[in-house]
Chain A
């Protein structure tokens, strides 16, 4: 499959400041890939270079092996949403899309079809100026789908959306990937990514920090195992023989580090020690992400807690992080 995004040593400098620093990665089809980093990490600049809106200082950004501005009718190959407000407020949704479609030889029937696909058919002839943020985000996605492209790029698609809007975008992206398309979306919210994407690319200060799957990331940062047993002293001795470091919590549970849950269960069974609870605990992805990017965050408030998501995206963070970390944080109180 040649449908993919490819960055080769992509670099963008603005005077002395380096926004994107020798960034290389690939995005493959059939999955939703998250492009994650704190504000100012260089996500939007990278997206804009991919789409030919910014000129790289050096390196290459290719889609299907070509620079975007070399594609003759790009809407048939790539759909992108960079900015939900990027439509003339005086035009109707239909006319806005028709203008874009016309430049790529796409007819008005297709414009009606994508408006229906995103649920805007009843507002098709209303002026964009009167649209809510959610409607404008839908309009942007309708524009991206005009040419039925194999590659879809979205810059911060859930910013400022309400819960229903976020859920809609999430399911739309998942179904686009399920159809075999290459989907890349950027976000500064790990919690959003955890439930939407299959792979994550994490960048900080313009550099690639991590290129991994969400599951792998979860496993890698699995920290310890919480064990409850009526015979803690005996189990501590058994676990110590396995090479684990064992501590206790205030309510009498044990915390084993350096040994996995299966090994603990087997050893306890062999020794005839009953186990009442056995929970592998991982850091939430949010924790991992914040830890990973903390040294690269450009602007930070003094208090560590305020390094969390900014207020404008708080609804997004709240609604999704609850479900994202529910399983991991069951015993994590």
Chain B
């Protein structure tokens, strides 16, 4: 029975994997991630050029040129969009009907979609954080701190791992939101607000609130999880709890909405 259940689930995951690969939007959003990474590299290149032309006194005032800070929120948005589309593209094209006829157990279907969202998030997260890391190594070379966040390449390991994790989490959160909202436009607006707009909005708040809000935003969880140098409020454990909370909250909401509503 359990073995059969496992096979049913594996088949459902394989079907969802086939679906995500055959959506053109998946590849468009991946291209968006590549573009964001390329843009990040360009900005870093300009920063490094300015740094090289600066006086030693000015150099000491440079901020850390961590490429994950610039590019990762965009990567999160694009990878999150792939996760949301796993659900919303089926509602948009009404192919949710045949999907549910093929796999009528809704929790199993959503579980399969979440598994694929997790895998896509993990793969893309690792790819783009490694690309950002490679940019930094190539462009910063052996320049010293503070501009170089990782004077030795091993210093980058926690950041790369934690950025991978937050991208994975964003993809899962977006999929959960997609199941709640059932609309691509709605899900992309919310995920864009979470990773791109909210960090800007936080700047307009009084300093105390700015930090409180900024500390729980998805892109800012990366340095807090990694325990690297950052201005935010959460310990590594606290950041891990907030990260888990995001996933739990959105996937539960998605599951409740998906199982209760008529299709």
Q: Is the CB of B102 within 8 A of A74?
A: yes
Interface membership of A68, Cβ < 8 A: yes
Closest chain B residue to A89, Cβ basis: B93
The residues of B that contact A72 with a CB separation of less than 8 Å are 4, 8
Q: Is the CB of A69 within 8 A of B105?
A: yes
Shortest CB distance B90–A (Å): 8
The residues of A that contact B212 with a CB separation of less than 8 Å are none
Q: Is the CB of A71 within 8 A of B101?
A: no
Interface membership of A247, Cβ < 8 A: no
Closest chain B residue to A92, Cβ basis: B22
Q: Is the CB of A95 within 8 A of B101?
A: no
Q: Is the CB of A99 within 8 A of B19?
A: yes
Complex CA–CA separation, A86 to B99 (angstroms): 9
B22 contacts which of A73, A74, A95 (Cβ < 8 Å)? A95
Which of B9-17, B52-60, B227-235 lies at the interface?
Answer: B9-17
Q: Write the residues of chain B forming the contact surface with A, with a CB cutoff of 8 angstroms.
A: 4, 7-8, 11-12, 14-15, 18-19, 22-25, 89-90, 93-106, 260, 262-263
Shortest CB distance B182–A (Å): 14
List 26 contacting pairs A-B, 8 Å CB cutoff, sorted by A.
Answer: A53-B101, A54-B262, A69-B106, A72-B4, A73-B8, A74-B101, A74-B104, A75-B101, A78-B101, A80-B101, A86-B93, A87-B98, A88-B89, A90-B23, A90-B24, A90-B25, A95-B22, A99-B15, A99-B18, A99-B102, A101-B102, A102-B15, A102-B18, A103-B102, A105-B7, A105-B11
Chain A 47-68, CB within 8 Å of chain B: the 1/0 string? 0100111110000000000001
The residues of B that contact A53 with a CB separation of less than 8 Å are 97, 100-101, 262-263
Q: Is the CB of B15 within 8 A of A100?
A: yes
Q: Is the CB of B93 within 8 A of A87?
A: yes
Main secondary structure of the interface of B (DSSP, over half): helix
The residues of A that contact B93 with a CB separation of less than 8 Å are 85-89
Complex CA–CA separation, A90 to B103 (angstroms): 21
Interface membership of A5, Cβ < 8 A: no
The residues of A that contact B260 with a CB separation of less than 8 Å are 55
Complex CA–CA separation, A89 to B22 (angstroms): 11
B104 contacts which of A55, A69, A87 (Cβ < 8 Å)? A69
Complex CA–CA separation, A54 to B94 (angstroms): 15
The residues of B that contact A54 with a CB separation of less than 8 Å are 262-263
Main secondary structure of the interface of A (DSSP, over half): loop
Q: Is the CB of A104 within 8 A of B94?
A: no
Q: Is the CB of A95 within 8 A of B104?
A: no
Q: Is the CB of A82 within 8 A of B22?
A: no
The residues of B that contact A158 with a CB separation of less than 8 Å are none
The residues of A that contact B96 with a CB separation of less than 8 Å are 86
| With A53-B101, A54-B262, A143-B98 already in contact, 11 other A-B pairs whose C-beta atoms are closer than 8 Å | A51-B101, A74-B102, A80-B101, A86-B98, A88-B93, A90-B24, A98-B18, A99-B15, A99-B19, A100-B15, A103-B15
The residues of B that contact A99 with a CB separation of less than 8 Å are 15, 18-19, 22, 102
How many residues from A make CB contacts under 8 Å with B? 35
Q: Is the CB of B97 within 8 A of A55?
A: no
Complex CA–CA separation, A85 to B90 (angstroms): 12
The residues of A that contact B97 with a CB separation of less than 8 Å are 53, 82-83, 86
The residues of B that contact A103 with a CB separation of less than 8 Å are 11-12, 14-15, 99, 102-103
Complex CA–CA separation, A100 to B93 (angstroms): 15
Shortest CB distance A138–B (Å): 14
Beyond A86-B98, A99-B18, whether A51 also contacts B104 by CB under 8 A is yes
Interface membership of A22, Cβ < 8 A: no
* Candidate in B11, B12, B97 with the most chain A CB atoms within 10 angstroms: B97
Shortest CB distance B127–A (Å): 24
Shortest CB distance B101–A (Å): 6
Interface membership of A91, Cβ < 8 A: yes
The residues of A that contact B105 with a CB separation of less than 8 Å are 69
Complex CA–CA separation, A52 to B11 (angstroms): 20
Q: Is the CB of B262 within 8 A of A83?
A: no
B94 contacts which of A68, A69, A74, A83 (Cβ < 8 Å)? A83
The residues of B that contact A101 with a CB separation of less than 8 Å are 102
The residues of B that contact A80 with a CB separation of less than 8 Å are 101
Q: Is the CB of A102 within 8 A of B101?
A: no
Closest chain B residue to A90, Cβ basis: B24
Closest chain B residue to A140, Cβ basis: B98
Closest chain B residue to A127, Cβ basis: B24
Shortest CB distance B131–A (Å): 27
The residues of A that contact B262 with a CB separation of less than 8 Å are 48, 53-55
Complex CA–CA separation, A53 to B90 (angstroms): 14
Closest chain B residue to A84, Cβ basis: B94
The residues of B that contact A102 with a CB separation of less than 8 Å are 11, 14-15, 18
Complex CA–CA separation, A55 to B262 (angstroms): 6
Shortest CB distance A14–B (Å): 9
Shortest CB distance A20–B (Å): 12
Complex CA–CA separation, A238 to B105 (angstroms): 70
Shortest CB distance A122–B (Å): 20
Complex CA–CA separation, A95 to B93 (angstroms): 15
Complex CA–CA separation, A87 to B93 (angstroms): 6
A100 contacts which of B25, B102, B104 (Cβ < 8 Å)? B102
Complex CA–CA separation, A52 to B97 (angstroms): 10
